[in-house]
Chains A and B, each alone.
Chain A
């Protein structure tokens, strides 16, 4: 399985993602944002970080960079695209997934482990993950998911919510919502579910000596689903 990780000026989780993808069997290529062509890929990842210093709005500049037109075409033709953290912010700015990510409700940068409940498994990202709840890491200032009421209805009708913030038993309540996101949304799909944007970092959960292993579960499962 071939993957590509796009590096934007200010990306800082691109190499972590490279390590994670390779660890679970992807042949990964790093792709510079100013390139026009995407290498042949089964998965394209927009990594976390602070592309363009978060100027104007997080992800807004990166969404207009040269490579993104190829990424958008790839996604629109059914290609698997995943945006993590700043990558999620870039995805919403391209319009590939609905909504926006606002400043965290309590104006704090949040850096901690959280639990997320998988809302939908009828997709290649989460199909066959046994766990209902995963422990991931979040680190962001703008992760407060927001969309219009019409968009929310559409997202819910199409089952586009991927994961919600919850407690370790999968209970989705206000008190487990770290950033003020509508309905505790931590990640969403596009309509066809070949594009996933999420704030948590699975690539930070792939090493027993450093963290948990729920990221390992996620990546192992992902590569199997793509085969």
Chain B
């Protein structure tokens, strides 16, 4: 089963990379952008076949390694 995770920076954390991307977009003529925040996307292919169990394991992975909860939030996307 494949489970996806999106990691985003928390609201108050400065994102210099997102800022530069925003500026570049602006320079390219995309001048109606309010803000850009950069994050990470993971696809985890797990041997687990039970949906809930798989999600619980991935949540543990997020807390222990994939995200640093001081600065990041994680969102697990339901497998379809």
Contact = CB atoms under 8 A, between A and B. Distances in A.
Contacts of B68: 57, 60, 93, 100
B70 A102 contact: no
Chain A at the B interface: SS class = loop
Contacts of B77: none
Interface residues of A, number: 19
A148 B68 CA distance: 12
Given A100-B70, A102-B71, A64 B16 contact: no
- Give the dominant DSSP class at B's interface: helix
A146 B64 CA distance: 19
Given A100-B71, A107-B20, A146 B65 contact: no
B28 interface: no
Interface in B29-78: 64-66, 68, 70-71
Given A56-B66, A99-B70, A105 B17 contact: no
A146 B13 contact: yes
B14 A146 contact: yes
Contacts of B20: 107
A146 B10 CA distance: 12
Contacts of A93: 68
A72 interface: no
B14 A105 contact: yes
Interface string A109-141: 000000000000000000000000000000000
Nearest to A103: B16
Contacts of A57: 68
A90 to B, nearest CB: 12
Contacts of A64: 64-65
Interface of A: 56-57, 60, 64, 93, 99-100, 102-107, 144, 146-148, 151, 180
Interface of B: 13-14, 16-17, 20, 64-66, 68, 70-71
